Amino acid sequence: MRGGSNAIAAIAATDEQRAILRSDAARLLIEANAGTGKTTTLCMRALDMVHSGADPARILMLSYTAPGSLAIARAFERLGAPARLRKAFRIGSFDALCSARLKVFEGGETRALEHPEDLRAAVLAAVVTAREAAEARHPGAFTLRGGGELAVESLLRAFEHLKGTLALHQRQAEGWRLTPASAADTGHDYTTLAVFMAYERYRLVQITPDGERVRFRYTGDATYDLACLLDADDPAYTLETHPLCMGELHGLFVDEFHDMNRAMATVLKELLAQYPQLPLAAVGDVDQVIHAASGAQSWFLREGFDLEFGRAERFPLTQARRFGPAVADALGRFAAKPYPADRARRSTLRSVVCDGAIELTVHLRELLAQRAQAVPPRPAAGVAVLLRHPHAALDLEYLLLRYHVDYSTVGFTTYAARPELLFVRMVLAAAAEDEQAFTPTSLSAAKAATWAFIGGALPRDGADDPETATTIAAAPAGNFQRHLLPVLLERTERHDSARCIARAIALLREGGVAQLHAALRHLPVRELAAQVYVQAEDVRNAVDSVQALLRVVDTDRPASIAELLRVIRTQEERRESAAAQGASGLLLSTIEQAKGLEYDHVVIPGLGRGEFDGDDADERNLFYVAVSRGRDTVELVHGRGPVSRFVPAG
């Protein structure tokens, strides 16, 4: 019997938490609602295990992400665990554990890359390699045009899904070969798979004086590599050299189990096979499965748990701690599950009518003014605007900057720096002969984006200049607009697109801002985006971004193209200055990036009918996660027309 430690005394434990602590089950699964203290409960059980004689240095505390691992450490601190005890637990992300085990197995450190930009060169090299191989084997099947610079981010997202699901690993083990026809069966396009396979060959093989080594690992790669190693038909290890052999273990705790994917499950299943008597306690919420991009599946929290990891005793954790009944009751109805809350805990859930970005901006300014005037003042950083789609923020960002409201973005690039808008701004600047349209930082990005969308090469000695990229990077704004841009339009292989771009520039020169709608209709944004992005969602977002820019023009009514460009540049300078000074303001975030976090005041815009009310589980779970981030107030924002079916009636 458990429950004799001070863990219960450290907080006002609920009956549900007491039942979890008292269980002697070897496999225990906590099915937790959002905001119920699931991490704290897991840590309470770990402390109880230590009180019963377990060695904390032999207890693994795992989470899906590094922030999740930090949340575990903070939960121990809240529970009053001494610093020495907190440090003794083996706390870390799942990927960090896999990295440590591979280091032992491989006999050395592998270079760890932490930022997507660190992978850019490797991805672009893989694009070249994959294109050459595809043209030799399947001419015309490789659809990515140009160098692939704008496709890197979407390719990395696709790689994450392929690794999390082990989709290709399992097929390749059965003799699968990549063709345009076989690619269709995987749910990924041929081009993405070709680049992925070229990228992985480069990442995994580096010839050194000591033999072959893995060249580098990025986030998630250690889990993927270890899963592939463990899942191989002909293992490269013995019982004595098993990569998961790590001495005596007393307990295993896994937080954020709703993020479990096939690669992680493969490692976890093998770890439990190595330690069949190891107690396992896991916690998750089926309604928070929103990392489908990395292969997360609710199946692992449902019937898959017993099938993969052994039959578990299941416990509910339903009592809301983060928020009061107003939010908990609404979430309970939405998710069709019990969601009690402390009736003394005050929180507010309300619908707010804002027709368009102007009304939303006014609302946010009033909200921030009220917080600033409170006693004591409440910081703007306590307000989070959680967005279903990044492109939905463009109108809002523009107006926030127009009215000098500081903000930060998480999970997406600020509007003026998106490649498709940098390209459009360069077209406008060329038409207006405006050499001051960009800051030095954005000018470099705009030239690169414009070249990526147009393609082509500068001439030298009757052929293509291999130094085109260097020449473009070094060119001043005026030189690029007046000389290099026309040459690229003339020499690109995308002849139809080039004619459309030239026509758009001519219209703008003739009619100025009055011709902006007509000129942008001439820009084949969808076709251009399809040649530089890989994922269909990125193409849609590019089109939507340009449409949002037109809405901004209709709203703000600049007197000229030069005025529009000047306003955007001024906003860029303000953003760059604020970033340099570390200024904070309200937060604009994707819902995915907000998972696991909480805020005083959450605003969820875009809740009109057909905007955020899809039938798929991801859409539903995203709404659940967004609402459950708010501590004190959650505002559901929609226009005066029909509202999303997710918005509670009344």
- State the binding site for ATP: 32-39
Distance CA 220, CA 477 (A): 40
Cα angle at 328 between 325 and 329, to 5 degrees?
75
Distance CA 353, CA 372 (A): 23
Reading the block at residue 640, the tokens are 């005066």
Could you say which DSSP state residue 112 is in? Answer: B
| 173-to-43, 234, 267, 485, 565 alpha-carbon distances in Å | 39, 10, 18, 48, 54
Cα angle at 328 between 323 and 330, to 5 degrees?
135
Edge to edge, the sheet with strand 27-32 lists 90-93, 59-63, 251-254, 280-284, 27-32, 313-317
Q: Which residues pair with 634 in a beta bridge?
A: 349, 602
Residue pair 637/393 in contact by the 8 Å Cβ criterion? no
The closest of 58, 57, 47 to 3, measured between CA atoms, is 47
**Binding-site positions:** 32-39
The closest of 36, 34, 35, 268 to 20, measured between CA atoms, is 36
- Within 10 A of 136 (CB to CB), how many other CB atoms are there? 8
Cα angle at 148 between 147 and 152, to 5 degrees?
145
| Gyration radius (Cα) of the chain, Å | 27
Distance CA 501, CA 187 (A): 34
Distance of CA 342 to the CA centre of its chain: 33
The residues, any chain, with a CB within 8 Å of residue 117's CB and separated by 6 or more, are none
Reading the block at residue 552, the tokens are 């901004």
Helix, coil or strand: residue 144: coil
Distance CA 483, CA 485 (A): 6
